[in-house]
A and B are shown apart, each in its own frame.
Chain A
């Protein structure tokens, strides 16, 4: 069996300790914004193995997370997914705090209340304050019950398909045609492609059109589905300033087709996008000093040599598939450090709920010690 060495404990601790020393001396004391002023952004990344990320060989794929973000954050190297290692089930489990066993196409709502529901009921937040922006088309309104749910990448897919299949007056896949097709679908047919926007308004539409325009005409240039998800999420954050946003990137899932180089490119892309997202949150007055960002893969992938064809899939009952990591940044981080004890995906909802003063009563997970709640 070919084995890769995970980033060892000592290296992680050294990395965190060195950075923390620099960081702490330069930081002003934190002011507690109180539950009412807090905001949280939860980012899930699809299936990524530790060996391609937080390991001696893999750290090269995540320079921003490992070198620029982790030293300022609370890093959990041992996060166990004890549920069904499929996308909808895992994301549902994360946002409910209880392991879900649903069909993986997002047709059914989770069997427990979500973080969105708790926030709406206990904090009386409206839909405008809770958003899901996702690259994965199966993460539907059923998972984000009560929240605004934008399937950003699906909008691009729809536009591209309509042009390819001759269902649009636009015939060729060029930038302007795709942008115009996306805009047309977004303004007139967003519900048909699975979006739900209970807080739809002129402001919301302006934010979304702004995101679309930024994506096509902005300085970042035109790239893939995760980049579009990032730009849309950033635009919603900038203009609408929600209290809670869940962002899902899924570009790494190109692994299912067996192209390892593209899978690695997907990891490098989300590494950069998480960095840019944190830069944005840490510089925007509405978010700076009051926002916690949590980044976590949904699960790993299968081990090399498994009968399920290794990194292509994520369905083995193995540590490589189930064990992943989590990085928390910002408001809830008392001091940067590596927290080695094992936590699980279902601990995230009660913990984020705690930041907002919300009790996720039906969650099976526990609040994670170490967060400044």
Chain B
């Protein structure tokens, strides 16, 4: 069955699920077409699994969470509630039992995941630092270097980047995979957006999304100091038409469109700073779309201007006569940790852990750091070219 085929859930099963699950599940079923194949498969498999259990087995599995819910003094969410607003989430998070609830939910899904078989494939994640950073100011990726191996290139990485990304995106697709699971690129400035030439490339550019980002930022800046206002603003942003703000490459694909909307609504600086957009976008793409190849091209962010920087959701250019200046030193500090975070995201996602080849490169440098999983065949023991590294990555993806 294709992953996109709609899933039907028996009402009896819905009635037996923990009530804190229903709003999210209902939302997922309602927005089924907006989910990525990698999201649809486990929902289907989980519901199939729960449906196959007999009543006593199911109750034994679900009862710890349900027992906690009874003690949590939750609002009267009905079975039809189809999303959790900020206020709902806030009620949940403020419950003294919330930490316990989270632990039980994690245990429950660990148990379910152990019983559900899903396809797995090898992955490649490339993180690229932009040109113009003061690389000599600090050791690169000190935390990651302990886990990987440095490889000397014959020239700076920048010279081979386009060819590497193009080759990754044009490699043959894995059987039973969909184009949106092939190759994603997140970039600070628009470059690969112009090169993407097939449905197997999905490119999101911070620069190209400026119109949509500014609209979200403008509305978020208007939130008054209360939950109702925040919920109202977020509800409005869930429905605002963003098609015309996205440009021709992205406006037609409803699923990508909604991914961008969700990314902007999920905070973490995605509408404010290029590198937060790249890292948090990567985290969400890895979690949701699970592409086989992901390329993260970080950039240099501007220095914060006096006064404007107090209003983070404002456009720094507005009414401020101070000229915008890049902040390469600050950007390097930011990106170093954000590269760690891209790596750590793959460590905690079961479909990436132990099967992801990481390549960390700086455009201006002729050494790269490679962190390979234990099952990776072997890394070059001598100097290499970017083409060698690309071939190695593509072989890994095909294995």
Contacts and interface: CB of A to CB of B under 8 A. Distances in A.
Interface string A304-341: 11010111110101000000000000000000000000
Interface in B147-164: none
A197 interface: no
Given A84-B93, A157-B310, A304-B344, A258 B275 contact: yes
A311 B337 contact: yes
Contacts of A191: none
Interface stretch (B4-12, B113-121, B256-264, B299-307): B299-307
A160 interface: yes
A159 B225 CA distance: 17
A23 to B, nearest CB: 35
Taking chain A's interface residues, is the majority helix, strand, or loop, or is none over half, making it mixed?
Answer: loop
Given A107-B226, A137-B225, A257-B272, A174 B321 contact: yes
Contacts of B319: 163-164, 171-173
B66 to A, nearest CB: 20
A323 B398 CA distance: 45
Contacts of A264: 333
Contact of A160 (B93, B280, B311): B311
B312 A257 contact: yes
B310 A160 contact: yes
Nearest to B225: A105
Interface residues of A, number: 49
Interface in B272-298: 272-273, 275-276, 279-280, 283
A1 B279 CA distance: 17
B225 A173 contact: no
Nearest to A309: B268
B102 interface: yes
B225 to A, nearest CB: 5
Nearest to A101: B94
Nearest to B301: A259
Contacts of A222: 306
A222 B331 CA distance: 23
Contacts of A257: 268-269, 272-273, 276, 312
B314 A258 contact: no
Contacts of A258: 268-269, 272-273, 275-276, 279-280, 334, 338
A104 interface: yes
Nearest to A305: B344
A101 B93 CA distance: 10
A161 B320 contact: no
Given A1-B347, A2-B143, A105 B227 contact: yes
Given A103-B227, A261-B330, A256 B310 contact: no
A33 interface: no
B318 interface: yes
Contacts of A173: 305-308, 319-322
* Among B143, B275, B333, B337: residue with most chain A CB under 10 A: B337
A304 B340 contact: yes
A307 B347 CA distance: 11
Nearest to A255: B269
A153 interface: yes
Interface in B106-142: none
Given A84-B93, A173-B319, A307-B348, A256 B268 contact: yes
Contacts of A261: 327, 329-331, 333-334
A161 B269 contact: no
B102 A312 contact: no
Contacts of B347: 1, 305
A106 interface: yes
A133 B170 CA distance: 58
Contacts of B103: 317
A295 B90 CA distance: 28
A172 B319 CA distance: 5
A178 interface: yes
A262 interface: yes
B267 interface: yes
B380 interface: no
Interface of A: 1-2, 84, 89, 101-107, 137-138, 140, 153, 156-157, 160-161, 163-164, 171-174, 178, 194, 222, 224-225, 254, 256-262, 264, 304-305, 307, 309-313, 315, 317
Interface of B: 90, 93-94, 96, 98-99, 102-103, 143-144, 225-227, 230, 267-269, 272-273, 275-276, 279-280, 283, 301, 304-312, 314, 318-322, 327, 329-331, 333-334, 336-338, 340-341, 344-345, 347-348
12 contacts: A156-B310, A164-B308, A164-B311, A164-B319, A171-B319, A173-B320, A173-B321, A173-B322, A224-B309, A256-B268, A258-B275, A304-B340
Given A1-B347, A160-B308, A309-B283, 5 more contacts: A84-B94, A173-B321, A257-B268, A258-B334, A312-B276
